[in-house]
Structure 1
Amino acid sequence: MRVSVLLLTLLFSITSFAQRSDFQEIDFKKADSIAHYYKDASLKNLPVLTHNLTASLKTDIEKFRSIYTWISSNIANDYSSYIKISNKRKRFAKDREAFLDWNTSITPKVFKSLLEDRKTACTGYAYLVKEMANLAGFNCDIVDGYGRTPTLLLEEDSTPNHSWNRIEINDKWYLCDATWSAGETIVVNGTPLFQQDYFDGYFLADPKLFAKNHFPINKEDKQDLKTDAFKDYVAGPVIYKEAFLAPIIPIAPVAMHNILQKGASVTFTLQVPKEFDGDVQLLLNKGGSQKNGSPIVTKKEYEISLAQQFEKKGFYDVHIAVGEQLIATYVIKVK
């Protein structure tokens, strides 16, 4: 028995995540249309809803797609609930075990509110994905940890603030974030307003890119994600959601903030899909004035490098863009 447990532990600890490219031949139109057909369906009977979303679909990936799309298209993000939960989490900043116990205890309350109001914070999204996926016969877990966004940067002493899921399909594990797929919260005249707008990039996301803005608190999940230390995670560049569509993965520099001498160059390196043909640009913002960079561009299979020289002293916000979409942001100090 001990040997079996040890083997299972070892196997679990070296599990690596796969990505959506495994299903390039799958057309999700039917799954998405079913999710749309059951728009506004009641959450009061999850087994019935799950059955309706999956029964007519042949493949496991289509079944999970229908569940995921329905959740991210029908559940609103409750910002006030997020703030309350975040404040509670801060109480357990230095007591990981207490945090995990509290996080488990709060889940039923979050789920009750979700059923009644059809809105929730990230914990509720992750819980609903897990429950419906389990009902459909999938192995699916909640992953608790940290999430970085362009408007929410973290420090080394930040508390956990996010939850997402991992799911097993065809004997492989995948990552997804239904909260960030659901839309975004904007502030209008001091009031947070949620805009429901399904975003596909976090559905079975590339694990290497996912680790750029997600950091789990459990040791096993850190090994699975192949993440660096938390210190390196919070120091990384800002990653925009549009990076997840291709996907495009910033490789270098590793840190967001970089210092160099006047006249020196910085090489920005991106991992890209094999057939990628997008127009990659550098936008240099200095003192509120923005201009296009003039990098030396080198293209290889699966990689694009942009070497930009900085000839004037000062601070630069360097945005990497593909077309009109921002991918990542760095800060360069030129001495």
Structure 2
Amino acid sequence: MKTAWTFCMAVIFSVHLYAQRTDFACTDFRNADNVAARYSKHPLNDLKSLADKLTRSLPSEEEKFRAIYVWVANNIEYDYALYLKNKQKRESLKKPEDLAAWNKGFSLRVFKNLLEKQKTVCSGYAYLVRELATYAGLTCVIIDGYGRNAHSNIGGPGIANHSWNAVRLHNKWYLCDATWSSGAYDTEQSKYVKKFDVSYFLADPLSFVNNHYPLDSSWMLLAYKPTLDQFLNGPLVYSGALLHEVHAMSPRTLNLVAAKGETISFQFAKNGDEIVKSLQLTIEGPNTKQTFDTRYRNDSSGGYSVDHTFHTKGTQTVHFLLNERYIFTYVVTVR
């Protein structure tokens, strides 16, 4: 039996209230990136001076912000040990007054480490981006909310655990996350690996909302706003989805149940004119891993569909890769 989850096309193609990186598809950011590289490891004792050095030679708002953003992502190290300490402490505190006291002291430590060691966590990245942008004459704000990855905010009530930025360029708001652009923690190497990821720079709000859920829903920059429950229980979304502007995944929930021999229709939408060179499924089960080059259907409006029949019982993790980048994951229990 074939099972298909349908979804409202009005939801898939929700009208953006604001804008995204593709607005600057014709902008050459190489000059901005070169300027950022020129001031590698510049001290943070005079942010106004640093902002001026990063932006004074660049003509446009988007180039100025790009230099600031790239500098922060490439020069500030993520303090994973500090993140773990904060996470463990916050989870152990039950009284609101104890949590408030911890947060106050922790914030002071975050900024002390940022200024002295150029190491920080997400709130430090967001603060530095805002301050440098403000000194450069740009309007930039910090957004607090829920960050979602393989280890955080998978189901449950959710924990507000992340901070990122919105910047106003040419009278439009754009979303970005310098923390997640700076690299990622490699569990196999047990260390944070620096690697700039452009996916979170001026990202498509439709894609961004799948792993960034703001406390103030207006900062989704969307006409249609998913609920927190939908966010916490949806498929797991990766930076590849933001890079390729993938959104509106269906089924809408991470955990699925199917009968042996049942076919599930997976669907998603994609913005832009980029050519889909390959769309693969990697399925991991107990002691097995298989990769399939899929046959997919697509339509003129940017919708894609892939059908897969599950022949083996057990819990299987289904990863989708678009042009060799992971975009999203489901967990399917086959009975």
Q: Scaled by the length of structure 2, what TM-score is found? A: 0.86
1:202 maps onto 2:200 in alignment: yes
How far has the Cα of 1:129 moved from its partner?
0.6
What secondary structure does 2:150 align onto? coil
Amino acid at match of 1:228: P
Residues 89, 159 of structure 1: 8 Å contact kept: no
Contact 1:286-1:316 within 8 A present in 2 as well? yes
Match status 1:238 vs 2:239: no
Cα deviation 1:232-279 (Å, max 9, x = unaligned): 211111112222222233521111111122332111112223332220
- Which residue matches 2:285? 286
Asked if the contact 1:89/1:161 (under 8 Å) is kept, the reply is no
The offset of 1:325, in angstroms, is 2.6
Match of 1:259 among 257, 260, 264: 257
Q: Which whole-Å CA distance do the structure 1 matches of 2:315 and 2:235 have between them?
A: 15
Task: State the partner residue of 1:229.
Answer: 227
Distance 2:53 2:221 in 1: 36
1:25 is paired with a residue whose SS is coil
- Residue correspondence of structure 1 range 134-283 to structure 2 within 5 A: 134-187=134-187, 192-221=190-219, 224=222, 226-249=224-247, 251-272=249-270, 273-283=272-282
CA contact (8 A) 2:209 2:220 kept: no
Instruction: State the Cα distance separating 1:150 from its structure 2 match.
Output: 2.7
Using the alignment, how far apart are the partners of 1:232 and 1:311 within structure 2? 29
Deviation sequence 1:98-138 (CA, Å, 0-9, x none): 97897678545422320101000111000101111111111
Deviations 1:199-223 (A, max 9, x none): 1110011111111111112243357
Deviates more, 1:196-205 or 1:290-299: 290-299
Q: Does 1:37 align with 2:38?
A: yes
Contact 2:316–2:332 (CA under 8 A) maintained in structure 1: yes
Equivalent AA in structure 1 for residue 297 of structure 2: T
Percent of residue pairs identical: 35
Q: Is the 8 A contact 1:93 1:159 kept in 2?
A: no
Structure 2 unaligned spans of 5+: 1-14
- Give the Cα separation in 1 of the matches to 2:100 and 2:328: 32
Distance 1:100 1:210, change over 3 A: farther
Aligned amino acid, residue 201 of structure 1: S
Query: What corresponds to 2:9 in structure 1?
Result: none
CA distance in 1, matches of 2:61, 2:252: 37
Q: How far, CA to CA, are the matches of 1:200 and 1:143 in structure 2?
A: 19
Aligned pairs for 1:93-172 (under 5 A) are: 107-172=107-172
Moved more, 103-112 or 284-293: 103-112
- Specify whether residues 36 and 332 from structure 1 end up closer, same or farther in structure 2 by C-alpha distance, changes over 3 A only: same
Aligned partners of 2:153 and 2:159 also within 8 Å: no
Question: Following TM superposition, by how much is the alpha carbon of 1:152 offset from its aligned partner in structure 2, in angstroms?
Answer: 3.4
Query: TM-score normalised to the size of structure 1?
Result: 0.86
Choose between structure 1 and 2 for higher RCO, CA contacts under 8 A separated by at least 6 residues.
2
**Equivalent residue number for residue 22 of structure 1:** 23
Distance in 2 (alpha carbons) for counterparts of 1:54 and 1:76: 22
Measured after TM superposition, the shift of residue 280 of structure 1 is 0.3
- 1:56 is aligned to 2:54: no
